[in-house]
Amino acid sequence: MLIHSRNLGQVSSHPSNNRSYATFPRFLSKVSMRRQWVFETLDTTTTTLLRSNIFNRTLELEKLKSAVKGDPSQILVVLGPRSCGKTALMSSHFSKRLDAVYINCREFDATTPQYFVKKVLKVLMDKIPTDWEQLKMSLPPKIVAGLASAFESTMKGAEMTSWTFSLSELVKSIMSGDPEKYKELDMNVLMEAFQLLLDAWEKEIIKESRGIDPGEIMRRPVIVIDEANVMMGWNKDYAKDMGTLIRFFVSITKEKKRSHVFLVTSEYGYQTWLSEAIASEFWKPRIIGDFTKSEAKSFFEFELKRRRKVVTVTDEIWSQIYEVCGGNAGTLVNLAYEVEDSGDDLNSKWEEALESMYLNTELPRLKKLALGVDGVYTAAQFADATLLMLSSQHFAVPQDAMLEHLGRHDYALDIQGDNTPSQTQLRSAGQKRFEGLVKYNVLCLRPYSDWALDIPLQAYSGPKKLALVTPSSALALYCLKLMKPDLIRDLTEWKQKQASKAWYNKLKDLLAGLAGFATMREEAVKDKRK
């Protein structure tokens, strides 16, 4: 097993700022030497691994390398539990590559598409080749003039060593007509700038590779957007711009195969949102999951050893820790921090530390959500969905089964009245409720992915390996277990009320029928007297 620490913080997008990483080839620019596009290399010696910020992610690294080896065919949506290490893995792998753009939307204002694309362009400009004379030859004169006014450069001989970027000047240089009429940055203009810079990037790759042989696949750049769910907030005010950006990603992946695109998020509702924006064949999901139980123990023990001289985690203690934290890296790091000041008396400290993981955070959050959200889902639907999940193997339920289960609530009286709806009607009724529970991070929809091992592959039934509904996190699962008695009580009370309503409706129908019969009898008597 590879044991090395996971730093859940962010790393710089420039290799020289990440001095803890293993040494890799420099980007050479001397005329007498051929520049090399850098591939990540992972030395498996213990010393190198301890300098890295990933832990035992050999499988995921191989999957990432394989995904970008050929031509892009779809947008890759990378999902996973919060704090499982997605950011650490993606940034440590791609931020080293000079032909990759890694954007973490937590680090800047991404509330509008314009701010977002500004950041993408800025990072891209930091990554493109710095041979100024060659760049001038590859771009139209108008663009060169714009670049000259858009960048303040530091020159060393004929080579530009650094650029200070002014996006507004670059945008003005590529806009047709009078720039003054463009008071606000337009998404299409920004996409055009991106395309021009991508052209220059590809020409440099071909040049430094001394051409591309027939049949050879050219190494493609990579764009990684972390916390991509920020785009979900653009729909109301920037629906047009949001659509333009998504279509741009489709264009450079599936259609033109110019760049790989990874959209990374912990929001499982992002799948529903993206499906409404583009067709399913334009993107595919991949999962970076939590650690398995054995991996998680090794990770936790390493985190403790980094803080303490003597560490003993018995199997009994570990079983209870795993029950609460699961294999989530972030939660285990927090737990290790909580017991850091306990000296050698870990046995008396860990129970209190475990409670601190959920007692004032996840548990009250779920208890509040269990009351229901007006117009989204009811308290009974929350209870029914979570109890179904808790009673299922691997705490995972096939999506269609969950939809039908939730849909039965909308048809409760019909069902008790022997008027059972179809499966299609039940699933349709349950869809909105399910999406609400996912939106509020009660449930998540886990598609099948051979990147993750935290859910056994046998849990995915059938040849198509349909998506599973699971708790949103290991902590959430533990809290729902604590809430189980209350959830059973709430659901029982709701069912009793529904039974009473059904009985009342049947009685009302019976009385109405008797009243109708009495009326008919009176009319018959009157007719007879006549």
348-400 pLDDT per residue, tens = 778 888 999 999 999 999 999 999 999 999 999 999 999 999 999 999 999 99
User: What pLDDT shows up at residue 89?
Assistant: 92
For residue 354, the model assigns a pLDDT of 93
pLDDT computed for residue 160 by the predictor:
41
Q: Tell whether 398 is covered by a domain.
A: yes
* Same domain as 305, residue 262: no
In a domain, 154, yes or no: yes
254: CATH: 3.40.50.300
- Residue 49 lies inside a defined structural domain of this protein: no
Looking at the fold, whether 235 and 156 belong to one and the same domain comes out as yes
Range of the domain at 482: 377-495
Residues 160 and 220 in one domain: yes
Q: For residue 29, what pLDDT is reported?
A: 30
Cα distances (Å, whole numbers) of residue 2 to 20, 46, 246, 249: 17, 8, 38, 35
Residue 23 domain-assigned?
A: no
If asked whether residues 262 and 310 sit together in one domain, one would say no
**What pLDDT is recorded for position 506?**
61
pLDDT at position 115 is 79
Tell which of 306, 326, 357 closes a domain: 357
Q: Would you say the pTM of this structure is higher than 0.85?
A: no
Amino acid at 210: R
Per-residue buried b or exposed e for 53-63, using 16+ beta carbons within 10 Å of the residue's own CB: bbbbbeebeeb
Is the same domain home to 337 and 403?
no
Q: Which residues of the chain have pLDDT under 50?
A: 1-52, 151-168, 171-183
As a dihedral over the C-alpha atoms of residue 417, residue 423, residue 429, residue 434, rounded to 10 degrees, the angle is 120
Let me know if residue 407 belongs to a domain.
yes
Is 234 found in the same domain as 85? yes
d(CA 28, CA 41) in angstroms, rounded, equals 17
Please enumerate in sequence order all residues whose Cβ is within 8 A of that of 450, keeping only pairs 6 or more positions apart, or say none: 63, 457
pLDDT digits (tens, 9 = 90+) for 183-212: 355 577 667 766 776 776 677 777 776 666
The verdict on 181 and 87 lying in the same domain is yes
Backbone angles phi, psi at 356, to 5 degrees: -65, -15
Assess if residue 98 is contained within a domain. yes
Structural domains counted in the chain = 3
